Structure 1
Amino acid sequence: MLLTANSFASYPERPITLIVPFNAGTTPDIVSRLLANVVSTDIGQQIVVINRVGASGIIGTQAVINAPADGYTIGFANVATLAINQSLYKKLPYDADKQLAPVALTGYVQNVLAVRKDLGVKSVSDLISLARSAPGKLSVGSAGNGTTGHLSAEMFKAMAGVSITHVPYKGGPEADLALMRGEVDLVFENITSIAPYLKSGNVVPLAVTGARRDSRLPKLPTMAETGLKDYQAVAWTGYVAPAATDPQILDLLNKAFNKAVNSDAMKARLADMAYEVSTGTRAAFFDLAHKERPVWAAVIKSSGAAVD
């Protein structure tokens, strides 16, 4: 939809809907609501967050695609909806490159590799040695098939050359609780989700999954630092719009989101959630998705992960 100069000058004239394809109370939802409040003030119109949950983000993503391309509907998008689903589903019912337009990359959350307290493991090398001594005996919990926690574990198994049994749960909190109870031996879990258990000492963290150490856990090495030099897996996030949305609107929203997420107050708030800010041009968001698709495709192929 192309706007005239006069109509663009008056944008936005009414509230904007922001569709989040994940549950209320999750990191995507919390971050989106925080940013929506700040961006709303900046652009002079309310941004209303609506959760459209299901099928690894597919339902919410399709809702964005099917909305009018008038700048009044945008959506949360992440590594799952833009990079993982492309290989996880045999028949993905949307084409992100053709049906969506990037608005802004806003940041990412790392996972933590943690083990149950009584496993007797103090490092990643200890874990690898134990796993090699008893193939298939150890178990790794996750928030579900195809999640970044699951695929982070599969990447670890492939790089370390170990066999560990995957146990999917209905969400990250359930997997974290299973680890604390000793029902599984390890997890690769979102830092924000597992933080309470780390603070209590009920589970033992071994490493983070990103390219650099996390500011809240500075003594914890990256997986690469432990010897798996090419290991990197983070849950990056951002925002998209229907593909035909006017570029002027997309540029305006990109500027507003970048400004919001880079403010000192927002950075501090997000840091408390272990959310690392990372911004750039609109194109940079989809460039990241294109770069990571083959990485996750290889992990999914080698692990045999599937949801349909």
Structure 2
Amino acid sequence: MTTMTRRTLLKAGIAASIGIPLTAAWGDEVLPAGPITLVVPFAAGGSTDVVSRFIAQKLSERIRHTVVVENTGGGGGAIGATRVARANGNGSTLLMGTVATHAINPLTTKNPPYDPQKDFTPVSLIATVPNVLLVGASVKAQDLQELIALIKAQPGKFNYGSSGVGTPPHLSGELFKSRTGVKMEHIPYKGGGPAMIDLIAGQIPILFDVLSGAASHIRAGSVRALAVTTRERSASFPDVPTMAEAGVADFETYTWNAVFGPAGVPPAVVDMLSLQLQAVVALPEVQAKLIELSATPAGSTAEVLAQLVQSELDKWGPIITSIGGLKRG
């Protein structure tokens, strides 16, 4: 690393620690020329998209580079992730990855189009988010046990939606079926946004969704939340019980949002972006927004994110095997 680059990173670290934005000169010295594309591997309107657009705006303000959000949905996040895995490793293309793109998809695909560790450069964990079981207005059940009884009394009538095959909400649904013995068909969508539209419209009765994407609809009363899928209740919705509290034991699933680059992003670029993303997440308005979206703010080093990916692969492997593997493609 050159003396100039070391000095630049030192300045960036100081800027991040005291909460001031980079000057254009500092950013231009390390970051690639031109705009940075942040690929969201799901359709617009879903939880990952909402978080990504807010983070992109704040990051753009700090580094004084345009950060463009590009939605590339499909394949439970695999299509967008593959696009980034094959992109130029200069840091001009980034991915807002999730547990789906970096653990579940590789574990549920016979021939994965990318390696979640070798083909990406971790940058920073942004936030963690619970999943939630939702029902539409036409479903008469007011709590989880009533829903289970309703499904068992009318086998074949109920189905559930998710943001795509192999996503955390999908696996939440499959785990729910396994733990309760109910029979439901899975209806996959190209993101949480389209799935929520159909839930509200009555096209599907049940939806497993990421809580950050569902929060505004729950507050509006257009859908009902029966349980969150984490071990503890969400601070944003303290009246919504956990699966365990609602009578379904040994149940924990959640998702997260984290920024990755393709393999081979220069360390100076990784350090710069990681520092700035940590600073973005630490901003009071960002903290407030993430909490409003029912996400828990994180902001981490690249090393911490790499450790998370490994731990998620270790965790989800046995769970996926226990419910039949879900191998596809």
Q: TM-score range by the shorter chain?
A: 0.7 to 0.9
What does 1:38-53 correspond to in 2, within 5 Å? 38-53=58-73
Q: Deviations over 1:70-102 (max 9, x none)?
A: 333322211111011112211111112112111
Structure 1 residue 121: deviation in Å? 1.9
Q: Deviations over 1:89-119 (max 9, x none)?
A: 1111111211211100001332221223443
Q: 1:14 aligns with which of 22, 33, 49?
A: 33
1:226 paired to 2:246: yes
Distance across 2 between alignment mates of 1:228 and 1:291: 24
Distance across 1 between alignment mates of 2:73 and 2:159: 28
What does 1:194-273 correspond to in 2, within 5 Å? 194-273=214-293
Q: Deviations over 1:111-136 (max 9, x none)?
A: 22122344332222232333444544
1:85 is aligned to 105
* AA in 2 matched with 1:70: N
Q: 1:281 aligns with which of 298, 301, 304?
A: 301
Distance across 1 between alignment mates of 2:274 and 2:164: 32
* AA in 2 matched with 1:305: L
Q: Deviations over 1:186-223 (max 9, x none)?
A: 22123344445434434332111233322331111122
Structure 1 residue 37: deviation in Å? 2.6
Distance across 2 between alignment mates of 1:114 and 1:178: 12
TM-score w.r.t. length of structure 1: 0.85
Distance across 1 between alignment mates of 2:274 and 2:187: 39
2:174 is aligned to 154
Contact 1:18 1:76 in 2 (8 A): no
Distance across 2 between alignment mates of 1:280 and 1:288: 10
Contact 2:160 2:173 in 1 (8 A): yes
Query: Which shows bigger deviation, 212-221 or 102-111?
Result: 212-221
Distance 1:43 1:88, change over 3 A: same
Distance across 2 between alignment mates of 1:77 and 1:222: 25
* AA in 2 matched with 1:147: T
Distance across 2 between alignment mates of 1:295 and 1:265: 33
1:119 is aligned to 139
1:190 paired to 2:210: yes
* AA in 2 matched with 1:167: I
Contact 1:16 1:71 in 2 (8 A): no
Distance 1:294 1:124, change over 3 A: farther
Contact 2:231 2:252 in 1 (8 A): yes
Identity %: 34
* AA in 1 matched with 2:141: V
Paired residues, number: 306
* AA in 2 matched with 1:94: Y
Q: Deviations over 1:247-287 (max 9, x none)?
A: 23322221211110121111112233333212323222232
What does 1:90-109 correspond to in 2, within 5 Å? 90-109=110-129
Contact 2:36 2:65 in 1 (8 A): no
* AA in 1 matched with 2:248: L
- 1:119 alignment partner, SS class: coil
Distance across 1 between alignment mates of 2:61 and 2:222: 41
Q: Deviations over 1:24-46 (max 9, x none)?
A: 44333332232223223333433
- 1:225 alignment partner, SS class: coil
Distance across 1 between alignment mates of 2:197 and 2:57: 32
Distance across 2 between alignment mates of 1:23 and 1:220: 27
Distance 1:188 1:298, change over 3 A: same
Query: Which shows bigger deviation, 231-240 or 174-183?
Result: 174-183
1:305 is aligned to 326
Distance 1:140 1:275, change over 3 A: same
